Each structure stands twice: as structure tokens, then as C-alpha cells.
Chain A
């Protein structure tokens, strides 16, 4: 299998990891960017794009989901949002953004990826808050807690396992989506795949695919740990069973 050995060669060549001129390279305006010929640089860029997208999504989706779940309104709307984004091709958003005022490159990528990172966070925050046992809410209100305290001190801790699961899904999904960035001149590990396709070096394509898959699995493992750590002790067994 020449593709397999080509992929192996690609992955075992030191210069492919460090780049010909280091992990970062200077830009014309005096700044710097990740080198497009370094696996390490592209990997870091991949992580940065994914994290930026997910943070952007969290900033909007988490408060919104927590609020909507607390007041138990807008359930249908959250379902509609997640269904529409599932039908929306990533390529469509990327090309639309690239052709708009946002332009080519990483900005379009972060925005598009953020939109796809949005629904899992929103729906899980909503469901987690809305599905808290009504008796528990009543008991908390009866004890004299304000609605705000009920939301933040009773419902939120009970919703944490689901919220954490949503963040995990969102993050892993984003890491696997970001490779498409290479099609609109963005960075990340997709560049390796895209370059391989363009030059018909399929070993390099395989190497790129393996790198992305490993990164996704690694992120998933880390997120699983965080999810466990964030879940209050008494809820852990229930969360594992679910």
C-alpha cells in the first residue's frame, strides 16, 4: 500500500511537524501567523479556531438556554434552531461568509463554526434547566428562595451534567468541522488534506485525516474528564447511567 507508507513517511518526517521556517511565520504587516507547512502550527491553529468558535457559541447559547429553560419558554424554537442548522451545509455558510463582507480566511471559519457549535449548547442548557423536577422547584420556592436563587442555586447545578454533555458534543463536532476551513483559505489541519488533494498526494490526505481524527478523540477524552469533574458528586452515577 503506497498510500499507507506515504502517510507514514509524511508523519515521520520531522520537517513536516516543525515547518521549514518554524511553527509561526511573520506576516507582511509585522504580525505573525501559524505556518501552513507545519503540523504543529496547523494543529495549534486548528485548536484555536475550534476554541474560539465554541467560546463564541457558549457566550450566546449558554445564558440564552439557561434563561429560556428557567422560564420554560421557547422549547419549540430551540428545536427548530437545531433542526435548521443540521440541514444547513457547512460549505454553504463558509462560502456565504467568505463571499460577504467578512471575507476569506479564519474570521469566516470561526463565525461559521460558531453557528454549528451553537445548537448542542442551547438545547442541552434548555433541556437541563426545563427538565428539573417541578417538585424540587416548588420546594425551593416554598423555602423562600427568590426565582433568581432557584435558577442559579437549584436548577443550574442539577442541569450541569446535561450542559457539560452539550459542551462536549459541541467541541468535538467543531473540531471535526473546522477542516472544511481550508476550502475558504482558512487554516487548521484541513490545509494538509486540501493540499494533498490538490497535488494528488493521497498519503498526505490520509495523514491529515488521521491527525484530525486523533485530535477529535483526544479532545473528546479531555472533555469527558471535564464533564465528570463538573458534575456534582451525587449526580455522577445518574449521569453515567444516562
Chain B
């Protein structure tokens, strides 16, 4: 079976196919960014609503739990007849999954804000809008950033499932590598995927640190 050399690592593959690899890497990167940003734009108001109107918290958290049991594989497939094959379908699926993680962390973060702090702020005459942006939101920020990091890293991994509708970024390379039994192609795509997740996570960690300088001055 292995009469033809079929190495796992091949620099030759990368140099010869760089245009294709970089194209899929670009798709993968932009798709991830777009999905997380859209999900964030929807999750913030939802999370705030769940916090402000406690009756909504149960249904919002419950729905997110159930949605997570639907396999991504099936979700992409189900969207296909309505939104066609391609980017939009994958994007909707990615936004849905990222949304779950984000809403959860925003709600948990806001719930974790010390009641005494809120009372003190109210006593000082903060209106509810100002309280949200100047007191509750900054205090919930570490939890929210943790949520964004998890959502981003899982989204990078999830993009590959887009293969089902022919738009999986690096997953496209993995699947084609499998079909043509080309190990270097699968391995290269896998490593690039992990590297992309790592880079995103590092950037977000640094952004998080810059946004929450007070968390570093905590007594050890």
C-alpha cells in the first residue's frame, strides 16, 4: 500500500500549493472573525435582556443548552436548502453556536457582579443605563472576554465542518486530502487550524489584559 511515499509532513506540498492553502486560510480567518463579531452583536443585547428581565433568563439559557445538542454536521446540512451552498450557510451555523457560548458567559458575568457594588452605585445616583455601562459591564468583562475566547477557538474548529456544504476553509483541504489519501495535505491543514486558533486566542488574551488592567493588581 505504501509503495508511493506518502509523508505526513511535506514542505514541498506547502510551497507548491501555497496559493490554494493561503486562500482557504483567508476564508477560514475571515469566516471566524465575521461569525464571532455578528454573534457578539446579537449576544450582548440578549445577555443584558436576560439580566434585566429575570423571566427571560430561564428560556434563553434553556434554549442555548438544547441547541448545543444538535450536531453541527446536521445544522449546516439543514440550512443548505434554504440558504444555498456556501458562505452564508456556514456563517449562520457558526453564529448560532458562538451565540450560545457568548450569551451564557455574558449572563454569568453580569450575575456575578457584587450586589453591594450595584447598590453603592445606585446610592451615588447612577441611572440604570449608566450603571450598566460604567459599573456592571466592566465588572463582567473578564467573564465576557473568557466567553469570546472560547467562542473564537471553537469557531475556528467548527468552520471545518462547513465541508458538508462545500465551504469549510481549511476543512476543505482536510477532506480532499482524505479522499485522495494525501497525508501532507491533511496534516498541513490541521496544523494551520491549530495555529490560527492559537493566534486568535493570544490576541484576545492580550486585548483582555489591556481592557481589564485592575485584574492584574489583585493581591496574590
A residues whose Cβ falls under 8 Å from a Cβ of B: 3, 83-84, 86-92, 95-96, 98-100, 172, 175-177, 179-180, 182-184, 190, 193-194, 196-197, 200, 202, 205-206, 208-209, 212-213, 216-217, 220
A92 close to B68 (CB less than 8 A): no
Question: Which range holds the interface residue count of chain B?
Answer: 35 or more
Chain B residue numbers with a CB within 8 Å of A86 are: 150, 153-154, 157
Cβ of B64 < 8 Å from any Cβ of A? no
Chain A residue numbers with a CB within 8 Å of B75 are: 209
Cβ of B70 < 8 Å from any Cβ of A? yes
Given A86-B157, A87-B197, A91-B174: A99 in contact with B71 (beta carbons within 8 A): no
The secondary structure that dominates the B interface is: helix
Complex formed: what's the CA distance from A179 to B71 in Å?
A: 7
Complex formed: what's the CA distance from A196 to B81 in Å?
A: 12
| Interface 9-mer from B45-53, B118-126, B187-195 | B187-195
The secondary structure that dominates the A interface is: helix
B71 close to A84 (CB less than 8 A): no
Complex formed: what's the CA distance from A172 to B70 in Å?
A: 11
Given A95-B186, A96-B186: A213 in contact with B157 (beta carbons within 8 A): no
CB of A228 to closest CB in B, whole Å: 18
B193 close to A193 (CB less than 8 A): no
Complex formed: what's the CA distance from A98 to B183 in Å?
A: 10
Complex formed: what's the CA distance from A141 to B75 in Å?
A: 53
Cβ of B177 < 8 Å from any Cβ of A? yes
Of A3, A98, A180, which contacts B73 at CB under 8 A? A180
Given A209-B71, A217-B69: A180 in contact with B156 (beta carbons within 8 A): no
Of A88, A95, A217, which contacts B194 at CB under 8 A? A88
Closest 3 CB pairs of A and B: A209-B74, A87-B197, A216-B69
Chain A residue numbers with a CB within 8 Å of B193 are: 87-89, 92
Chain B residue numbers with a CB within 8 Å of A176 are: 68-71
| Interface 9-mer from B15-23, B34-42, B103-111, B159-167 | B159-167
Residue of A nearest to B192 (CB): A92
Chain A residue numbers with a CB within 8 Å of B71 are: 176-177, 179-180, 190, 193, 209, 212-213
Of B69, B174, B198, which contacts A87 at CB under 8 A? B198
Chain A residue numbers with a CB within 8 Å of B154 are: 86
Residue of A nearest to B156 (CB): A87
B156 close to A208 (CB less than 8 A): no
Not counting A208-B74, A212-B70, a sample of 5 additional A-B residue pairs whose C-beta atoms are within 8 angstroms of each other reads: A83-B153, A87-B193, A89-B157, A89-B158, A197-B77
B190 close to A89 (CB less than 8 A): yes
A89 close to B73 (CB less than 8 A): no
Of B69, B157, B190, which contacts A220 at CB under 8 A? B69
Complex formed: what's the CA distance from A53 to B129 in Å?
A: 49
Cβ of B171 < 8 Å from any Cβ of A? yes
Cβ of B78 < 8 Å from any Cβ of A? yes
Residue of A nearest to B182 (CB): A99
Chain B residue numbers with a CB within 8 Å of A213 are: 66, 69-71
